[in-house]
Structure 1
């Protein structure tokens, strides 16, 4: 490459040095070639593109390698690129407002999809017509001012290697990937198509829009394909998209390689069909489609499976066909989405194509080859379609040709060529205006000669930041970096039974829009493949995780493959494919399906609910029974059974048992500060008084028995003072504990949002849990002492002995409160309050039943037994 550039520089120096001594060439008749087109003008614009795929036999190096032109594949669709070029030049020459009195000429050379041929074409631009002598031009009355390059970044780069030596403007209407060589390496090149790096972003936005996270990648097995994968795969990875497979479509340059390529196509087709990915991204250039259609043809019996793919095509990959595809269906590409260079129909282009005829196109010998290939006919003495049974009349209509062979609407590449020609014309016009010469008729000829002296490098100043309006009604702008500020069109392929298709524009992507909205697509107008029933296809490694579930990675699988796991308790996922579940904010809880958070209901134990009403009934009933017993005892206060075991102590016990159930009212209703302060305190003190009375009665029984023994000193301890002291002392200790509790860490109203998942519980926070259990522990201690003393005194020989009844009562009391602790700790919310109320009521009624029911039975139902002599007789 370096040696070639040095040689070209030497040739340029020789050309410059001897330019003054050039002898005018003799006038020659132009020799027309089917691979060239030349239309003379004062200013020449060159174009090189490829329409013919040539293949060679295996090289033996015994003879010069020559292609078999008869077996060449003609890409008839690319002929529109040449026609758009001719149409633009013709339109400018007929327009008196652009370059008046100066004509544009056009020169076209075939590239044969061969990168080496590009160098030859480049040197022909600097040679005399029909004479290949680089840097030696005899026809100095014309001046080559720019070149429009063919498709593909490799072709554009190779052509720029030559043209940049002459500072000749080059317009590339294909990709010009800066990742191969930076734009700074080619300062005289202009991009008609957006940079490929913008296409990566467009593909990403498209996949994210449809949530296609599991996609296949197909590209040609060449450097461009490697570069495409190298740049795109990391972008997809960073955005959570995995490649299900990466296949490189095999190519062939020689006939003997075709069978090897065909075998590789079968393997690629098998991988394609076995993959669960419904979206396949295909990257390549025009010949790629020929290989792709051949690849898909390998599974002609499995076409229905291939229909279940959404093909995403890049800009250079066009839907083309050659003669061998004439009977092949294009329905396999139904619903495909293609990125294309932005296009718009140029005014008059349709009429230009409809009036096209081989008889009217002088100097264009390729049109006959095109005509034969596109219509399947032949002209007399044809070198290409000798075996065709139909004869071309020249009156065939292009609008009847299926789109894979030729499109009547202007394609994106043709539109880029059209705009490139106009950009050169407007730059020339601006250069002429800058000369500020007189426009008199006498100087018309001198003005034309001025264009001959125009050097290509002088045009760059006017090409940068040029703006103009084309005949399509669009504003075209070329920025200072040599980029035309046009984005991509996203087109939907709609196929027809006649093996044709229609491009439906469904979106666009313009990286030069200075906003977040540089990508847009209308999914409602997309016509999908019939297998999807107009439902947006899915392309995932596995089904979406629905709301209520989250993703869990599968071992040894790509991150796009995962299991769906239900959200843990207390968390939700409200979108599909959530990476993790989120906890509800305070005051909310997950619904049954764990899809959304529901506001929690504020609850507390109320009088209106059945549980609260039942407890209130039992509270009233318990207090009523105690009142009834107390009234009965007061009424029969002089009877022996009431007098026994200290009548005043009995009354004190009954009064405390009356208040015990009433304490439960402090536990029902919405907790407030006063309620929380006093409910546990009142419960603890009242019950301590009751248990202290029981303890005093038990000790009285023991002391009374001991005092009856002769010579006993215990008589002085028997009496009201002793029982009163026991009750007051025991109650005071509990009151002291409660006082310390209130002084250090008193209870307060609180809100419990977490104990019950679906409710916000209004409760009383005990403040110090230790003090709460101190109160319960002290009360339990008194009950336990009473139980032990009563148990030991149960068999004492006394007619008025209550020890047995007290033993049973304390057994019930201790059992209730021992079972209360674990039950209390295992319940939450209002049910915790209900447990404590139930324990209060149960222990109260247990004391009433065990201690007072036998006495009440005698007083009310057996008054005959409530006599002293009867009690003494029972003792005997």
Structure 2
């Protein structure tokens, strides 16, 4: 209060200063008394800048509104440690924290930040502040069984040395210690045998600004130049080892007197390493720059202050917004909590060629506005960074499988299943490739699929094309033979018009597989199944009409019976027309509701994109095939029942055999079609079409061609005229068809 008021008997809220006002208080502020004073000074908005205090509570601007500091708080340092751990890529660590406010806050902060980054903590061990051999022994036992390599240390000097001493007799190898400071680590290096425990270590130090011109200033110091400085004489004596004469003091002969001609230039003073000149530099110059800004109105909102008459809150306002750069290039600024935006130096314990272990500067940690709360870390090239993981990383092509009852950082690696990939390390699950891509053999990337379809130029497609053209040519050739010998009894028997229609439909049946070859298009997809279904329906209905004609003919026992009406040409044409029209209607409904369309199938063949026709409505497709199957079954049944009729007058045995081949092919087709994949589906259907076409063509017409071309002597009416059947009435029915003349027979 005397400092604030300028009076020995202070009066609150009254100041009586002679000369310029006091600007700010710069000091240590580490003791409890200093904290109480900081709270009191905050009531008066009096600026205070500490260069040594690291208490996290001082960042609370509600309690300490005028407190600022140029050293990172314990929590900021702890946060920097977690950032270093994240940069090193560790995922499995141990935390050693003291059981006081500092250790609990720092440990909780580290655990929270590491938890956000999915880093697992094997042990979070609390080290007692008071000496407790039992608790220390428990900590050492857990350290011994720990599998984590990285150890985060939030301990004071004595506790850290106590832990290291306890670990000297325990076989703990490979652990890397990370600390927010180097002082306790450096002290521990002096312990005998500590190198066996402290082989790997990282440490952080808040970056210090070197005082510009201090060596020159130090060299020019002399007590005679500043006689009012009562400390300089003592400093001179302690540094140079002499005694400065003081008045009538008597000195012994063993004491060397200072002559005043000595020089501090190039001389190391005995407390050079513990000098606080460097860390106080930033605090003092922050106040100096704030005063400069206050006078020049840079951060005063356009309001200038008289340097000899200003209020503390005016300087505090400028101090909070101060921005400047030190001669060594460091940017100085305070955050919203009054803490210096700290930059850290990273040190690593390394062994020199002589076998000595030293802490070597390997990089920096610098906060960056673009990273938010993250820090930008720059480490030198070639730094050996140890690993601290529970499980080895999973290579691309495999994913992590968690171990039951273990943290998520402990896992097993399993190869991605078929059709999936993992292109990064440590993926939690494998991914599906896009529709038109497939996983590589290593399953670490996706490759573009090769388009494939049943083409004309591949061996299978070429063979099927040649077979289709051969069958179509054979059907045309047989049709030509039938036209050439149309007046012979064999051609005239059993309705030669039906034979012409059947041969024409079989020609189209043989050519329809060509629609299944080549790249699928909307047009070919519409025509494939419908063309096949219609032409085969015409062919089967012709066979049915032939079979019914023969059956009805042999049921006639007396001339003039009503059943003879069914033997006329119109009846056979009606059977073909009605059967075919029904199939055309079914196909029309299919095309109108859900027609087939081109489809790119990526699931049938690995590594290939099969271009095929999707059938659209499965129900409509089943109805079309079902109707054709029903028609074929009925035709086969009728032919089978009529197979015992005389061979000299009918072809029911050949019809039965051809329909047996037809039904067998399509009965085998159904399971093969549903089990085939990719372009094999089209190949199975093409083969079935060709096989059934060949069965009908060969079973019905090849015997007739053999009779017409190779044994023409049998293609006469006397050779084909029935014997015993003539007496039963059949001869009178079939006779006109087997005798030359203008008569017309329905058979």
TM-score (norm 2): 0.77
Distance 1:432-1:698 versus aligned 2 partners, 3 A rule: closer
Aligned partners of 2:216 and 2:421: how far apart in 1? 63
Q: Is residue 189 of structure 1 aligned with residue 181 of structure 2?
A: no
Distance 1:200-1:225 versus aligned 2 partners, 3 A rule: closer
Aligned partners of 1:407 and 1:788: how far apart in 2? 116
Q: Is residue 846 of structure 1 aligned with residue 709 of structure 2?
A: no
Question: For the Cα contact (< 8 Å) 1:285–1:316, is it kept in 2?
Answer: no
Cα displacement (A) at 1:239: 2.1
Paired residue for 1:419? 282
Q: Is residue 320 of structure 1 aligned with residue 161 of structure 2?
A: no
Secondary structure of residue in 2 paired with 1:17: coil
Q: Is residue 148 of structure 1 aligned with residue 27 of structure 2?
A: yes
Cα displacement (A) at 1:235: 2.3
Q: Is residue 725 of structure 1 aligned with residue 581 of structure 2?
A: no
Question: For the Cα contact (< 8 Å) 1:734–1:778, is it kept in 2?
Answer: yes
Aligned residue pair count: 672
Q: Is residue 762 of structure 1 aligned with residue 611 of structure 2?
A: yes
Aligned partners of 1:715 and 1:416: how far apart in 2? 126
Q: Is residue 17 of structure 1 aligned with residue 9 of structure 2?
A: yes
What does the per-residue CA deviation read over 1:637-688, in whole Å, with 9 as the maximum and x for residues that have no partner?
A: 4544434323332232222111111011122222233323323222122111
Question: For the Cα contact (< 8 Å) 1:145–1:455, is it kept in 2?
Answer: no
Cα displacement (A) at 1:618: 1.4
Paired residue for 1:494? 350
Question: For the Cα contact (< 8 Å) 1:160–1:170, is it kept in 2?
Answer: no
Distance 1:435-1:655 versus aligned 2 partners, 3 A rule: closer
Question: For the Cα contact (< 8 Å) 1:172–1:190, is it kept in 2?
Answer: yes
What does the per-residue CA deviation read over 1:495-551, in whole Å, with 9 as the maximum and x for residues that have no partner?
A: 33554413313131326x4555963334552532xxxxxxx4332221222223333
Secondary structure of residue in 1 paired with 2:542: helix
Equivalent in 362, 367, 370 of residue 510 of structure 1: 367
Distance 1:15-1:638 versus aligned 2 partners, 3 A rule: same
Paired residue for 1:294? 165
Aligned partners of 2:549 and 2:313: how far apart in 1? 127
Cα displacement (A) at 1:180: 7.8
Distance 1:163-1:796 versus aligned 2 partners, 3 A rule: closer
What does the per-residue CA deviation read over 1:255-276, in whole Å, with 9 as the maximum and x for residues that have no partner?
A: xx4xx43x65454344234322
Equivalent in 516, 537, 554 of residue 667 of structure 1: 516
Structure 2, unaligned runs of 5 or more: 12-18, 222-230, 240-265, 297-304, 726-747
Equivalent in 632, 635, 643 of residue 783 of structure 1: 632
Cα displacement (A) at 1:144: 12
Secondary structure of residue in 2 paired with 1:785: helix
Equivalent in 594, 600, 611 of residue 460 of structure 2: 611
Paired residue for 1:160? 35
Aligned partners of 1:292 and 1:508: how far apart in 2? 28
| 241-250 or 488-497: bigger deviation | 488-497
Alignment of 1:35-184 (within 5 A): 146=25, 148-149=27-28, 155=30, 159-165=34-40, 171-174=49-52, 176-178=54-56, 182-184=60-62
Alignment of 1:860-871 (within 5 A): 860-863=709-712, 865-867=714-716
Cα displacement (A) at 1:243: 0.5
What does the per-residue CA deviation read over 1:157-215, in whole Å, with 9 as the maximum and x for residues that have no partner?
A: 56312454466865444563445872432234322223444445434433333332211
Secondary structure of residue in 1 paired with 2:187: coil
Secondary structure of residue in 1 paired with 2:406: coil
Q: Is residue 311 of structure 1 aligned with residue 186 of structure 2?
A: no
Equivalent in 499, 521, 538 of residue 387 of structure 2: 538
What does the per-residue CA deviation read over 1:424-448, in whole Å, with 9 as the maximum and x for residues that have no partner?
A: 67778999997767xxxxxxxxxxx
What does the per-residue CA deviation read over 1:471-497, in whole Å, with 9 as the maximum and x for residues that have no partner?
A: 645454456753333322333332335
Secondary structure of residue in 1 paired with 2:646: coil
Distance 1:821-1:429 versus aligned 2 partners, 3 A rule: closer
Distance 1:579-1:200 versus aligned 2 partners, 3 A rule: farther
Aligned partners of 2:337 and 2:411: how far apart in 1? 45
Alignment of 1:397-476 (within 5 A): 415-423=278-286, 463-466=319-322, 470=326, 472=328, 474-476=330-332
Structure 1, unaligned runs of 5 or more: 1-8, 20-98, 103-142, 369-395, 438-449, 529-535
Cα displacement (A) at 1:844: 0.4
Secondary structure of residue in 1 paired with 2:391: coil
Paired residue for 1:482? 338
Question: For the Cα contact (< 8 Å) 1:330–1:499, is it kept in 2?
Answer: no
Aligned partners of 1:740 and 1:334: how far apart in 2? 83
Cα displacement (A) at 1:690: 0.7
Secondary structure of residue in 2 paired with 1:504: strand
Question: For the Cα contact (< 8 Å) 2:537–2:579, is it kept in 1?
Answer: yes
Distance 1:215-1:470 versus aligned 2 partners, 3 A rule: same
Aligned partners of 2:557 and 2:108: how far apart in 1? 110
Distance 1:587-1:701 versus aligned 2 partners, 3 A rule: same
Alignment of 1:549-628 (within 5 A): 549-628=398-477
Equivalent in 193, 208, 220 of residue 98 of structure 2: 220
Distance 1:288-1:417 versus aligned 2 partners, 3 A rule: farther
Distance 1:179-1:622 versus aligned 2 partners, 3 A rule: farther
Aligned partners of 1:166 and 1:650: how far apart in 2? 119
TM-score (norm 1): 0.67
Q: Is residue 774 of structure 1 aligned with residue 649 of structure 2?
A: no
Question: For the Cα contact (< 8 Å) 1:671–1:763, is it kept in 2?
Answer: yes
Paired residue for 1:122? none
Secondary structure of residue in 2 paired with 1:486: coil
Paired residue for 2:662? 813
CA RMSD of aligned residues (A): 4.4
Aligned partners of 1:808 and 1:872: how far apart in 2? 24
Paired residue for 1:390? none
Alignment of 1:667-686 (within 5 A): 667-686=516-535
Paired residue for 2:116? 238
Distance 1:475-1:846 versus aligned 2 partners, 3 A rule: closer
Q: Is residue 738 of structure 1 aligned with residue 587 of structure 2?
A: yes
| 288-297 or 324-333: bigger deviation | 324-333
Distance 1:264-1:364 versus aligned 2 partners, 3 A rule: farther
Aligned partners of 1:267 and 1:353: how far apart in 2? 52
Q: Is residue 209 of structure 1 aligned with residue 209 of structure 2?
A: no
Distance 1:350-1:597 versus aligned 2 partners, 3 A rule: farther
Alignment of 1:356-435 (within 5 A): 363=234, 415-423=278-286
Question: For the Cα contact (< 8 Å) 2:343–2:364, is it kept in 1?
Answer: no
Secondary structure of residue in 2 paired with 1:321: helix
Aligned partners of 1:202 and 1:685: how far apart in 2? 80
Aligned partners of 2:510 and 2:396: how far apart in 1? 50
Aligned partners of 2:424 and 2:372: how far apart in 1? 24
